[in-house]
A and B are shown apart, each in its own frame.
Chain A
Amino acid sequence: MTEPILQISKLNKSFGPVHVLRDVDLNVYPGEVTALVGDNGAGKSTLVKCIAGIHGADSGEIRFEGRPVTLTDPRAATGLGIEFVYQDLALADNLDITQNMFLGRELHKLRAFLSDGEMEKKAREVLAGLSVKTVSSVRQKVANLSGGQRQTVAIAKAVLWNSKVVVLDEPTAALGVAQTRQVLDLVRRLADQGRGVVLISHNMNDVMEVADRVAALYLGQVAAEVMTKDSSTTQIVELITAGRSGDIGLAPAAANESI
Chain B
Amino acid sequence: MKKTLLFLTLLFASPTVFAQDFPFGQVSTEEIEMKKYDKDTSAHAVVLNEYGTSRIILASDNYTKVVFEYHIKIKIFDQSQFSKGTLEIPVYNGDNDAYEEVEDIQGTTYYKDENGLQQKAELDSKQVFRTKKSKHWTILKFAMPALRNGCVIEYKYRLSSPYKENFHSWEFQSDIPKKYSEYQVHIPAFWSYNASLKGHLKLTRNVADLESTCFTYGTAKCDCSHMVYGVSDIPAFVAEDNMTSPKNFLSAINFELVDYISFVNGSKIKYAKEWRDIDYQLKQEPEFGGQLKRKDLMKDRISAAITGKTDDLSKAQAIYAFLQKWYKWNNFIGIYSTDGIKKAFESHSGSVPDINLSLVAALNSAGINTEAVLLSTRENGFINTLYPALGDFNYVIAKTNIGDKSYLLDASDPYLAFGMLPLSCLNDKGRAFSLDKPSYWIDLGTTQQRESITYTYDLTLQDNGKLKGTLTRYFGGYSGYERRKAIKKFNTPDEYVENFGEKLPKFKILKSSIINIDSLDKPLGESYEVEINMFDNTNHNRLAFDPFILNKITTNPFKLAERGYPVDWGMPSDERYILTVHLPEKYAIENPPQEVSFFMPNKGGKFFTSFDGNSNSFTFSYLTSFNKSVYGPEEYPYLKELYNKIILAEKNEMVFKKKS
Is chain B found bound to chain A in the same assembly? no
